[in-house]
Amino acid sequence: MDCDPGIDDAVTLALAATAPEIDLLAVTTVSGNVPLKRTSENARVVLNLVGRADVPIAAGAERALIYEPPPNPPIHGPNGLGGLKLEVPDRALDPRHSVELLADLLWQEEPGSLTILAIGPLTNIALLLALHPHAAERIGLLAIMGGAIGTGNVTPVAEFNAFADPEASQRVLCGSGLPILLVPLDVTRRAIVDEDDLELFREASGAAGVIADMILGYADHPPAGWPLHDVLALAALLDPEVIRTERAAIEVDTGAGPARGQTICTFERPLAAVFGKPDPVGDVDVATEIDVDRYRDLVRTRIATIGD
C-alpha cells in the first residue's frame, strides 16, 4: 500500500491491515496530504493502533518529480489525522527507500501475484517504473484512487492526487503497460459515512472509536457526510461488485495552464468510427458507478468490528 496519511488514507490502512483477505506485506509513504515525515509517522501510528507493528514501512518521495507540489491541504487537520494526538510507536522505518522496498517485494514474489494499492500522489510508482523498467511485468494489479473525469477538488478540473504530481500520473496512467484500476473522484465523492455511522463506530470497542474521532477531524465536509475517498479503492478490491468500470485510455495534462492535473478519459465507444477515427484503445479500468448501499454496508461492518 502506497499512501500519504491523511484521514481517509489512515482509515484505509487500518482496514487493509486487519482485513482477513489481505496479506499486507508493506506500507510505503509519499508526501501529499501532509509532508513525508508526517505521512510516515502517521502510518506508524495507524499500524500501531490496529496491532500491526509487524508491517514494514518505508518512506519514499518527499516532493513531486519535477515541479514543487501545491501546499499540503489543511482539510486533514494540523497533523493529518484530524488533530488527534495518538501514541507514536518507538519503531524505526525500514531503511530502504519506498521504491527499493517495492522492487524487492516484486522480485521476491511470483510475477503477477502482488497488488499495489496507491492512494496518494503517484510519485513513488512513477519512480519505480523509471528505476525498474520490468516492474510493470511483475505487478498483478495497480489500484489507484485519483483523478477526476469531471469536476476536480483542487481546481475546476483536477483532483488532488493527480494535481500534486501530474508528471507522475501521466507516466503511470498513460501506456505504462500496468493492469490498472482507477477509482476517481467522481465516484469517491459518494463514498460517504454519516453521523449515524460515526455513532456506530463510537459504540464499538477498540480502534473504531478512534477512527470516528479521526473522521470528525476533517476541516470540512458536505452536508450528507464525510467522503472516505481512498476507502472506496480498497472496498473495490474486497468486493468488486461495489463499483462498475469502463475501459478507457487516459492522458493527464502536464502543462502549466489552468488544466494542469486534469485526467482526460477517452472511453471506448463503437460510434467513434463515425467521426473518421476510432478512440484510442483503452488500457485502464475506470470506476464510473458505485453501489452506495453495498459500499456502506461493507465499510460499516469492517470499521465497527476492526480488530475483533
Residue range 255-289, pLDDT digits in tens? 999 999 999 998 866 556 566 666 666 789 999 99
Q: 2-304 adopts what CATH topology?
A: Inosine-uridine Nucleoside N-ribohydrolase; Chain A (3.90.245)
pLDDT value of position 223: 85
pLDDT value of position 241: 98
Strand arrangement, sheet containing 27-29: 57-59, 27-29, 2-3, 114-118, 139-145, 180-183, 284-290, 243-252, 263-267
The sign of the torsion formed by the CA atoms of 253, 173, 296, 51 equals negative
pLDDT value of position 265: 94
Q: What tens-digit pLDDT sequence spans the chain (308 residues)? A: 999 999 999 999 999 999 999 999 999 999 999 999 999 999 999 999 999 999 999 999 999 999 987 777 789 999 999 999 998 999 999 999 999 999 999 999 999 999 999 999 999 999 999 999 999 999 999 999 999 999 999 999 999 999 999 999 999 999 898 999 999 999 999 999 999 999 999 999 789 999 999 999 998 888 889 999 999 999 999 999 999 999 999 999 999 999 999 999 988 665 565 666 666 667 899 999 999 999 999 999 999 999 66
pLDDT value of position 205: 78
Expressed in angstroms, the distance from the first to the final Cα of the chain is 22
Query: What values do phi and psi take at 196, rounded to 5?
Result: -65, -40
Domain definitions of the chain by residue range: 2-304
User: Catalytic positions, please?
Assistant: 229
- pTM, rounded to two decimals: 0.95
pLDDT value of position 276: 64
